[in-house]
């Protein structure tokens, strides 16, 4: 399990999702993930993605591929460049969650930790 050490609200995990169509929190709830233990935020586009990631400091970063104005792959590349440059900490777990498996494979190749079709994201073994 990924934990948010020192979270003042006592929540075990900070989750930030970038997904423009599907309500990811509802998807997690329907998959029996205990969302009461999560600090969850969803962004419905990728505008200012790095700023949101720096602000939230997610333990788990969920990235859809097809998302305006830039793709999840572009967001992943920007995150990894910012981490390499020392401008931000890398999220503990980065999940590629496109509906298109080949897009997940591309993000895995670039450095994501998991790749899964988004409607199965609740089945990952990362949730509390």
**Within a domain: 96:** yes
Three-state secondary structure call for residue 45 = coil
DSSP 12-69: SEEEEEE-SSS-HHHHHHHTT--GGGEEEEEESS-TTHHHHHHHH--SEEEE-SS-SS
**Within a domain: 7:** no
pLDDT at 6 over 60: no
Chain position carrying tokens 């790095």: 50
Cα–Cα dist 99/35, whole Å: 22
Q: Does residue 69 have a cis bond before it (omega within 30 degrees)?
A: yes
> What's the CATH code of the domain at 20?
3.40.50.2300
**Within a domain: 103:** yes
pLDDT at 15 over 70: yes
**Within a domain: 6:** no
pLDDT score, position 126:
97
User: Which residue range is the domain that position 70 belongs to?
Assistant: 13-123
Task: Report pLDDT digits (tens) over 47-105.
Answer: 999 999 999 999 999 999 999 999 999 999 999 999 999 999 999 999 999 999 999 99
**Within a domain: 42:** yes
**Within a domain: 1:** no
Which class for 24: exposed (0-12), middle (13-18), buried (19 or more C-beta within 10 A)? buried
What is the average per-residue pLDDT within 13-38? Answer: 97
Task: Count CA atoms closer than 13 A to 46's CA, side-chain side.
Answer: 20
**Within a domain: 55:** yes
Residue 26 CB contacts under 8 Å (≥ 6 apart), including other chains: none
**Within a domain: 2:** no
For the chain, the residue count is 128
What is the layout of strands, in order, in the sheet containing 60-63?
A: 38-43, 13-18, 60-63, 93-96, 114-115
Count of structural domains within the chain: 1
């Amino acid at each position: 399990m990924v934990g948010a050490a020192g979270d003042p609200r006592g929540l075990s995990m900070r989750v930030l999702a970038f997904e423009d169509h599907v309500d990811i929190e509802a998807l997690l709830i329907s998959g029996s993930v205990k969302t009461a233990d999560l600090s969850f935020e969803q962004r419905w586009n990728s505008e200012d993605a790095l700023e949101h990631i720096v602000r939230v400091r997610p333990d788990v970063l969920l990235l859809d591929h097809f998302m305006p104005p830039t793709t999840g792959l572009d967001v992943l590349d920007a995150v990894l460049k910012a981490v390499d440059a020392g401008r931000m900490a890398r999220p503990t777990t980065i999940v590629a969650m496109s509906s298109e498996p080949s897009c997940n494979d591309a993000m895995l190749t670039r450095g994501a930790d998991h790749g899964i079709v988004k409607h199965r994201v609740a089945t990952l073994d990362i949730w509390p």
